[in-house]
């Protein structure tokens, strides 16, 4: 099993450009999450999904969009990149049945907006 795979690992965007951060998991997890991590700020939840076709906002959803058309994939879309979106983005998945709610993380995408 590959676990949670994020692409790309690094990206530099110009202000106003758009891009999609890809996330795929092969563990048949129904929950998936997107977090951003800023220095000294810990992890902030952007969006999450409890299953295909269902998404919900987290703490910091502004400037982002998500979709969940399949169980495996949970892409994060930035429409108009801003310097405030410079961060490290982590995708995670979990299967919250009793005894197995551990979140599995991807390796992260380091995004710089200039």
Partner 1 sequence: AQSVTQPDIHITVSEGASLELRCNYSYGATPYLFWYVQSPGQGLQLLLKYFSGDTLVQGIKGFEAEFKRSQSSFNLRKPSVHWSDAAEYFCAVGPYSSASKIIFGSGTRLSIRP
Q: Tell me which residues touch partner 1 (CB under 8 A).
A: 31, 33, 35, 40-43, 45, 48, 50, 56, 58, 90, 92, 94, 96, 98-99, 101-103, 105-108
Among candidates 86, 82, 77, 97, which has minimal Cα distance to 10?
86
Contact between 56 and 50 (Cβ < 8 Å): yes
Q: Which is nearer to partner 1, 17 or 50 (CB)?
A: 50
Phi, psi of 85 (to 5 degrees): -90, 5
In the complex, what is the shortest distance from the CB of residue 62 to partner 1, in angstroms, rounded to a whole number?
Answer: 18
Smallest distance from partner 1 to CB 112, Å: 15
For the CB of residue 48, give the shortest distance to partner 1 in the complex, in Å.
5
Of 26 and 56, the one with the shorter C-beta distance to partner 1 is: 56
Considering beta carbons, is residue 14 or 40 the nearer one to partner 1? 40
Q: Where are the beta strands (DSSP E) in 1-114?
A: 4-7, 10-13, 19-25, 31-38, 42-51, 54-57, 64-66, 76-78, 87-94, 104-105, 109-113
Dihedral angle over CA of 8, 91, 25, 98, nearest 10: 170
Whose Cβ is closer to partner 1: residue 86's or residue 105's?
Answer: 105
* Nearest distance in Å: CB 103, partner 1: 5
């Amino acid at each position: 099993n590959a676990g949670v795979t994020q692409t790309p690992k690094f990206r530099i965007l110009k202000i106003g450009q758009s891009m999609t951060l890809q996330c795929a998991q092969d563990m048949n997890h129904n929950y998936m999450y997107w977090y951003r991590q800023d220095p000294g700020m810990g992890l902030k939840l952007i969006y999450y999904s409890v299953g295909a076709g269902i998404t919900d906002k987290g703490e910091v959803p502004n400037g982002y969009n998500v979709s969940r058309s399949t169980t495996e994939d949970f892409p994060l879309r930035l429409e108009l990149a801003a310097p405030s979106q410079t961060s490290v983005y982590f995708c995670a998945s979990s299967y919250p049945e009793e005894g197995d709610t551990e979140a599995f993380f991807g390796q992260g995408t380091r995004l710089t907006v200039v």
